[in-house]
């Protein structure tokens, strides 16, 4: 079987080489096809962070083992990791947090074992990356929680729980505040739970969950969360078992699955051969199990556990230098221990307002810096038609001073380019911008066009695309 491999940025090539050598040593019937994906390819002009050949290869093979990839902060670059997960509709992010002998934590010292599986919705929520500046002082991020997306991740979670013989699944949420979005996520959870009567379904508000994970982590078995909350709390759980260096991750979709370590690319230690490959190694075991190669997965896991129990460690954890190994040596020790492994699965004062009474509202406002220009509009439309059909409807009625730029669904571009493996719901965002060099659009022009296009398609809402001081004050679509 052939799988795609992207070594990643920073320490990625080092930990990937260690991981692949361990997989090869088991005799797993796998061929590895390297693909061009990462920061380097983004900087060469590939906006998705991968070459067209890499994209096609991954879609053909359906499995990607991926090293960490860098997203520079504040440079307008979209996360390559998020783009990949969303482009291929890997709707469930599964992370396993398990105590490891040889990795000291507060809980291991207290003899409290941790075995938590967290499933994070992986496509929607604020990670759609759909943002606008409504005014120069007000930024809007659209938060998408859809019934189809919620049902997908909940069904995956309960199916996994049933296969594992789990007794309880917990839904984390903030439905007490976000009643429509988190409310829909929670409603869908209990709707799916009806089909799994042997599993206890419970829910908990996310801030209470954070506290209880730290205080009593062994109360939880499987947890499912919306995207942003799941991202934050999964890193919290990583801290319970020793850090991100011990946190494996699988991104599950119906057509493509991505297995990766969730830690960063650590450019400060890249090339020094001291990085810890454990997270990627355990992620590869999740991949092997997904492919039905359970024997090989258990062999690597048991060898890794043996190596840790023997006290061998990389520089980022463990005690003493006598058994401190570099990345290559650590992988070699795991390979050496492969022959020792067995094929057995081993988880109150009141606040007083002292301000003077106001007669009117206080308006907090910053004077506009530079010229404000209406550059276009995003039309959010309801449709079950194909993106090309929607595009044709808009193009037929566009005035000469406006252009159709792109169409996205749940924040991921589906027109003029995209992947047919991107699952769509019945709401699309259609972006219209003024022609280069044309004057600022007026409200009348946009609303007249909206009136015209509304005869052939339902408009849910419209957001102005503003430029302040010559700077575009709205986001790109994922993959645009």
Domain-by-domain residue ranges, the chain?
Answer: 2-340, 372-472
Cα 142 from Cα 158, distance rounded (Å): 28
Query: Which range is least confidently modeled, 84-98, 124-138, 277-291, 415-429?
Result: 124-138
For the chain, the average pLDDT equals: 90
pLDDT at 76: 60
pLDDT of 417 higher than 90? yes
Do the domains 372-472 and 2-340 match in fold? no
Percent of all residues in the chain with a pLDDT value above 90, rounded to a whole number: 67
pLDDT of 266 higher than 90? no
pLDDT at 346: 38
The whole-model pTM stands at: 0.82
User: Could you tell me what percentage of the chain is helix, strand and coil, using 3-state DSSP and rounding each to the nearest 5?
Assistant: 35, 25, 40
Using pLDDT thresholds of 50, 70 and 90, give the confidence band for residue 350: very low
State how far the alpha carbon of 327 is from the alpha carbons of 5, 37, 298, 413, in Å.
Answer: 19, 22, 21, 39
Cα 310 from Cα 298, distance rounded (Å): 18
Cα 480 from Cα 478, distance rounded (Å): 6
Cα 113 from Cα 117, distance rounded (Å): 13
pLDDT at 318: 64
The residue with greater pLDDT, 319 or 289, is 289
Using pLDDT thresholds of 50, 70 and 90, give the confidence band for residue 466: very high
Cα 210 from Cα 408, distance rounded (Å): 34
pLDDT of 311 higher than 50? yes
pLDDT at 102: 75
Mean predicted confidence (pLDDT) in 339-361? 52
pLDDT at 264: 83
The residue with greater pLDDT, 87 or 359, is 87
pLDDT at 355: 44
Mean predicted confidence (pLDDT) in 423-436? 94
Query: Which range is least confidently modeled, 121-125, 270-274, 320-324, 408-412?
Result: 320-324
Mean predicted confidence (pLDDT) in 339-366? 57
Mean predicted confidence (pLDDT) in 206-222? 96
CATH, domain range 2-340: 3.40.718.10
pLDDT at 352: 38
Q: Does domain 372-472 have CATH number 3.30.70.1570?
A: yes
pLDDT tens digits, one per residue of 107-164:
888 888 899 999 999 999 998 888 988 888 888 899 999 999 999 999 999 999 999 9
Q: Which residues pair with 313 in a beta bridge?
A: 324
């Amino acid at each position: 079987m052939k799988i795609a491999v992207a070594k990643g940025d920073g320490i990625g090539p080092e930990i990937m080489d260690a991981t692949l050598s361990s997989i090869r040593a088991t005799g797993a019937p796998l061929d590895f096809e390297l693909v061009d994906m990462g920061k380097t390819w983004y900087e060469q002009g590939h906006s998705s962070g991968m070459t067209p050949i890499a994209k096609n290869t991954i879609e053909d093979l359906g499995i990607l083992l991926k090293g960490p990839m860098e997203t520079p902060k504040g440079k307008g670059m979209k996360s390559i990791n998020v783009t990949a997960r969303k482009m291929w509709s890997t709707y469930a992010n599964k992370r396993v947090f398990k105590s490891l002998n040889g990795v000291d934590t507060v809980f291991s010292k207290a003899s409290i074992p941790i075995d938590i599986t967290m499933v994070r919705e992986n496509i929607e929520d604020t990670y759609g990356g759909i943002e606008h500046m409504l005014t120069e002082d007000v930024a809007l991020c659209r938060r998408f929680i859809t019934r189809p997306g919620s049902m997908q991740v909940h069904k995956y979670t309960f199916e996994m729980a049933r296969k594992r013989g789990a007794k309880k699944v917990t839904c984390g949420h903030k439905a007490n505040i976000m009643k429509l979005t988190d409310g829909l996520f929670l409603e869908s959870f209990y709707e799916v739970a009806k089909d799994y009567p042997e599993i206890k379904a419970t829910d908990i508000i996310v801030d209470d969950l954070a506290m209880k994970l730290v205080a009593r982590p062994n109360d939880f078995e499987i947890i499912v969360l919306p995207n942003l909350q799941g991202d934050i709390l999964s890193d919290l759980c990583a801290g319970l078992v020793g850090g991100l260096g011990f946190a494996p991750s699988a991104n599950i979709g119906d057509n493509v699955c991505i297995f990766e370590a969730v830690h960063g690319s650590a450019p400060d230690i890249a090339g020094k051969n001291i990085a810890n490959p454990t997270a990627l190694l355990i992620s590869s075991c999740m991949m092997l199990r997904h492919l039905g190669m359970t024997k090989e997965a258990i062999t690597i896991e048991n060898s890794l556990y043996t190596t840790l129990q023997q006290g061998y460690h990389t520089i980022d954890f463990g005690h003493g230098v006598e058994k401190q190994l570099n990345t290559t040596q650590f992988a070699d020790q795991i390979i050496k221990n492969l022959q020792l492994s067995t094929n057995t699965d081993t988880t109150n004062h009141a606040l007083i307002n002292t301000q003077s009474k106001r007669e009117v509202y206080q308006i907090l406002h910053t004077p506009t810096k530079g010229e404000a220009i209406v550059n276009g509009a995003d039309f959010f439309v309801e449709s079950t038609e194909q993106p090309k059909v929607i595009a044709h409807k808009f193009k037929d009625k566009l005035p000469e001073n406006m252009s159709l730029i792109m169409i996205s669904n749940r924040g991921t571009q589906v027109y003029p380019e995209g992947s047919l493996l991107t699952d769509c719901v019945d709401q699309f965002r259609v972006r219209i911008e003024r022609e280069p060099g044309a004057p600022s659009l007026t409200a009348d022009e946009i609303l007249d066009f909206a009136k015209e296009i509304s005869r052939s398609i339902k408009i849910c809402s419209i957001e102005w695309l503003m430029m302040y001081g010559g700077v575009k004050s709205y986001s790109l679509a994922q993959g645009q």
